[in-house]
A = this chain, B = another copy of it.
Amino acid sequence: MQNNRPATLITVAEAAGVSKTTASDALRGSGRVSEETRAAVQRAADALGYVPNGSARHLRRASTGTIGLYVPEVLTRSDYYMSFVFGVVATASDNDYDITLITSGRARPPRVDGLVLGDPLTGDPVVEELMNAGLPTVTCERFPGRARPDGVVWSRHADVVGDLLDHLAASGAERPALLVAGDESDWAANVHRGYRDWCTRHGVAPAVRTVPFEAPAGDVHAAGRDLLRDEPGLDALVCAPAGSAAQLLPLLRDAGRRVGTDLLLASCVDAPDLLLTEPPVTAIDLRPRRAGAACAALLFELLDGTSPPGTERVHPIELIARASTAPISPR
């Protein structure tokens, strides 16, 4: 039997026999309240099913209750960013925050309390503009440009790419090549660096082909053909751009290479379809949903002062080995 009007702070206060101020302090842990009173208020709130009214809270606090979320338009289709956005949205909604999706054609900065930028690209004018808006900002991956965000969530891409190459070597690969996007994204730059460092450490001559970020499937195919032609000893291929491993699979097969048998294939971005290919493709799980959640969480901590500006946080990622990198059988 529950009342049709939802419980307010005043209802709770009356039920607990205290004033609204005390009730508010008790529930938020602010002000000075005795432990017994706090417990009593909490009990009353639970019993009444009290949920704070977000609108009233934001009104009083002069916050908009909204955070802006920008992901480069080009990438909207990718599975990674979809999941990333979901992570941000879910965390925001837990904190009573609204999300405004910021698209490229923005006139003036939207009315938001803070910004989350997913893997910002150096040249992107929208990113530059947003970073200079004077709002608390969190980026996923470091921003390679001049401006400094107030918070960063980043992953050890270079290290994990090293792990991946170790894994390939353990499976018998001696000439691993890399397909990667340009260095305007910090992620791509780190993947690239991780590869070169590994090559240096192991005395292997690097074989790298670059495709632009928004490359259509055709360009990826061309780069793949390029590698097959120019690198005769090629026995492993690491694909960085999202989707490129799946795109190359048919090409490699048509070229007579047996993936997972005499040619190892791995992707730097895991995606559901890499499980469905034949063979399933080894990939680095970037945990995009959690990354989004971490960015949002960090932004909220910056907003309420729990974390200081300049905070950086490492987001764990993981190598997932599948059949495409099983030990090479001699051919």
Binding site for B on A (CB under 8 A): 6, 49, 51, 53-56, 58-59, 64-66, 76-77, 79, 82-83, 85-86, 89-90, 93, 96-101, 108, 111, 217, 243, 246-247, 250, 254, 272-273, 275-278
| Chain B: minimal CB distance from A248 (Å) | 10
Is there contact, CB below 8 Å, between B272 and A246?
Answer: no
- Cβ-neighbour of A246 out of B55, B100, B111, B273 (below 8 A): B273
| Chain B: minimal CB distance from A250 (Å) | 4
Tell me how many chains of this kind the complex includes.
2
| Chain B: minimal CB distance from A28 (Å) | 18
Is there contact, CB below 8 Å, between A275 and B89?
Answer: no
For residue A93, which residues in chain B have a CB less than 8 angstroms away from its CB? 66, 98-101
Q: Which residue of B lies closest to A78 (CB)?
A: B272
**Known pairs A54-B98, A93-B101, A246-B276. 16 more at Cβ < 8 A?**
A53-B59, A54-B66, A55-B56, A55-B59, A56-B59, A59-B59, A66-B93, A79-B79, A82-B82, A82-B86, A86-B101, A89-B101, A96-B98, A217-B275, A246-B273, A273-B273
The 5 closest A-B pairs by CB, nearest first: A55-B58, A98-B98, A82-B82, A55-B59, A250-B278
Is there contact, CB below 8 Å, between A6 and B276?
Answer: no
Q: Which residue of B lies closest to A108 (CB)?
A: B49
